[in-house]
């Protein structure tokens, strides 16, 4: 867990304990990175995380899903993104065993909400693979060819922007039922043209985006986050199909596969005798690194994933409550677990708005 993890020639994470992407509502209204957001992420870099990922950051205004969401959609975001990458890198380098000192890697999660984007926040209508309506949400229209071409271009431009800002990696958000996952889904995608139908069609947007970023930004490590099977808003996602998508993504130039499991200790739903981490390791062989997220709180939780074949773990809630989880665990110090006092979260670098957002996560914040 504390050994360096090479992602791509010249890009090495100093260890295998990474910060998961965490929506934190701390960006400015126009998507610019705020001091509060840079402080929260910078503290995790200082705390020993080997790779620090931003929250889901919209690549186009019509993909924005939450107020205070980071933007990578416009050249005006560049100064804030540059300051953020520098803040993450500014952490004192860690000496690798027998090798040169390495610094934490900075990664940006590239996101489009599709039908989960919010017109009240973005000011624009929503669209997805197919038209979609559900109670309490604005209706989404079906994507045109121009939408699809435009969003691939937007992902590529965002990746280039992140490279220019000094990031080491970008992560495509292909999980959790957002745009790229909506296209993969048999529920959300009912198209009968080349962007739907069989898995080849449903995976085409994700694959085309991966290949386009790989070609446009060869200096970046390319991570792709997937939901292996249905969970929450990720619907119509089949385990065996996602295994095939992972194999294709290796051909397309993905360096790191990020499995979002929510409960990493649990077996697959479709195949209760098998664990997703082991299945995906068998599928991609040693052609890609694998990072796993979901309910990792202790050293034993992390080591269990490495034993199943992961190269790294990504922490969400444990990292919100413990900015220095890697240092604590390496030295055997105790880790704070929920419910967590609001004052403790403030000391861990969360602004009042982020603490409020964490109240939506059941049992996380201790209520007075
Ligand atoms: C407050 C919060 C915000 C999150 N935001 C994102 C996000 O922007 N992008 C994403 O892919 N996952 C997001 N997730 C999911 C986490 O990255 C992670 O996969 C999940 O929380 C499970 O890991 P954990 O049990 O260590 O928290 C979020 C989770 C939380 C708790």
pLDDT digits (tens, 9 = 90+) for 265-281: 999 999 999 999 999 99
For residues 354-364, average pLDDT: 97
CA of 21 to the centre of ligand 1 (A): 6
Alpha-carbon gap, residue 287 to 168, rounded angstroms: 19
Which residue puts its alpha carbon closest to atom 22 of ligand 1? 294
Examine the pLDDT at 101 and tell me if it is beyond 60. Answer: no
- Provide the pLDDT for residue 137: 87
Task: Examine the residue annotation and report whether 231 is marked as an active-site residue of this protein.
Answer: no
- Ligand 1 atom with the smallest distance to the CA of 55 is 8
Q: With beta carbons less than 8 A apart as the criterion, state whether 259 and 176 touch.
A: no
Residues with CB under 6 A from ligand 1: 20-23, 55-56, 109, 173, 175-176, 225, 260, 262, 293-296, 315-318, 361
pLDDT value for 93: 65
Residue nearest to atom 21 of ligand 1 (CA): 316
Rounded to the nearest whole angstrom, what is the distance from the C-alpha of residue 90 to the centroid of ligand 1?
25
Decide: 205 and 152 in contact? Cβ < 8 Å. yes
Whether 294 and 326 have beta carbons less than 8 Å apart is answered as: no
Percent of the chain whose predicted confidence (pLDDT) is above 90? 95
Ligand 1, residue 314: give the atom nearest the CA. 26
Name every residue whose Cβ is closer than 8 Å to that of residue 66 and which is 6 or more positions away in sequence: 23, 25, 118, 121
Q: Give the residue, by CA position, lying nearest to ligand 1 atom 25.
A: 295
Greatest C-alpha distance within the chain: 58
Q: What is the pLDDT of residues 7-26, one digit of tens each?
A: 999 999 999 999 999 999 99
- Kindly name the residue from 178, 188, 231, 357 that is annotated as catalytic: 178
99 pLDDT above the threshold of 60:
no
Banded pLDDT at 251 (limits 50, 70, 90): very high
Which residue among 18, 19, 21 is best mutated to probe the pocket of ligand 1, counting the most ligand atoms within 8 A of its Cβ?
Answer: 21
Residues 339 and 68: their CA atoms lie apart, in Å, by 25
- The mean per-residue pLDDT over the stretch 170-181 comes to 98
**Whether the predicted model's global pTM rises above the 0.95 cut:** yes
**pLDDT 10s digits, 103-150:** 999 999 999 999 999 999 999 999 999 999 999 889 999 999 999 999
What is the spatial distance between Cα 208 and Cα 215, in angstroms, rounded to a whole number?
11
Residue 8: the pLDDT is 96
Mean pLDDT score across all residues of the chain: 96
Instruction: Indicate which atom in ligand 1 lies nearest the CA of residue 56.
Output: 8
Task: Look at residue 50 and tell me whether its pLDDT is greater than 70.
Answer: yes
Q: What is the mean pLDDT of residues 212-235?
A: 98
> Is it the case that residue 229 has pLDDT exceeding 70?
yes
State residue 97's pLDDT score: 54
Output the pLDDT for position 91.
72
- Is the confidence at residue 95, as pLDDT, over 80? no
Q: What is the pLDDT of residues 279-338, one digit of tens each?
A: 999 999 999 999 999 999 999 999 999 999 999 999 999 999 999 999 999 999 999 999
Nearest ligand 1 atom to the CA of 317 is: 27
Identify the residue whose C-alpha is closest to ligand 1 atom 10: 21
Which parts of 106-223 fold into alpha helices (H)? 119-122, 145-165, 179-184, 199-202, 204-216
DSSP strand pairing (221-226 vs 256-260): parallel
Q: Who contacts 144 (Cβ-Cβ below 8 Å, separation ≥6)?
A: none
Residue 161 has pLDDT above 70, yes or no: yes
262 Cα–ligand 1 center, Å: 8
Q: How many other CB atoms are there within 10 angstroms of residue 145's CB atom?
A: 10
């Amino acid at each position: 867990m504390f050994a360096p993890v090479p992602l791509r020639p010249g890009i090495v994470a100093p260890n295998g304990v990474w910060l998961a992407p965490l929506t934190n509502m701390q960006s400015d209204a126009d998507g610019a990175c705020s001091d509060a957001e840079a402080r929260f992420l910078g503290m995790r870099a200082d705390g020993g995380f080997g790779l620090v990922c931003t929250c889901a950051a919209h690549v186009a205004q019509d993909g924005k899903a939450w107020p205070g969401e980071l933007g990578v959609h416009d050249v005006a975001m560049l100064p804030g993104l540059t300051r953020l990458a520098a803040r993450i890198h500014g952490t004192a380098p860690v000496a690798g065993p027998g090798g040169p000192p390495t610094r934490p890697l900075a990664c940006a999660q590239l996101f489009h909400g599709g039908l989960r984007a919010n017109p009240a926040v973005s000011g624009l209508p929503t669209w997805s693979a197919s038209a979609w309506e559900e109670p309490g949400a604005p209706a989404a229209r079906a994507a045109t060819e121009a939408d699809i071409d435009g969003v691939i271009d937007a992902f590529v431009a965002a990746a280039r922007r992140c490279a220019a800002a000094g990031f080491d990696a970008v992560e495509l958000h292909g999980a959790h039922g957002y745009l790229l996952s909506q296209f993969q889904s048999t529920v959300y995608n009912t198209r009968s043209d080349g962007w739907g139908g069989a898995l080849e069609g449903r995976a085409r947007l994700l694959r085309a985006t991966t290949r386009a970023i790989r070609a446009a930004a060869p200096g970046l490590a390319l991570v792709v986050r997937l939901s292996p099977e249905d969970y929450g808003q990720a619907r119509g996602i089949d385990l065996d199909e996602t295994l095939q998508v992972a194999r294709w993504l290796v051909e397309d130039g993905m360096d790191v596969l990020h499995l979002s499991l929510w409960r990493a200790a649990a077996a697959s739903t479709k195949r209760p005798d098998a664990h997703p981490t082991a299945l995906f390791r068998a599928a991609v062989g040693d052609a890609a690194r694998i990072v796993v997220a979901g309910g990792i709180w202790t050293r034993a939780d992390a080591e269990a994933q490495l034993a199943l074949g992961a190269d790294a773990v990504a922490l969400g809630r444990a990292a919100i409550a413990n900015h220095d989880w890697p240092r604590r665990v390496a030295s055997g110090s105790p880790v704070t677990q929920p419910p967590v006092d609001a004052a403790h979260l403030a000391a861990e670098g969360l602004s009042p708005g982020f603490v409020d957002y964490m109240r939506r996560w059941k049992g996380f914040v201790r209520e007075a």
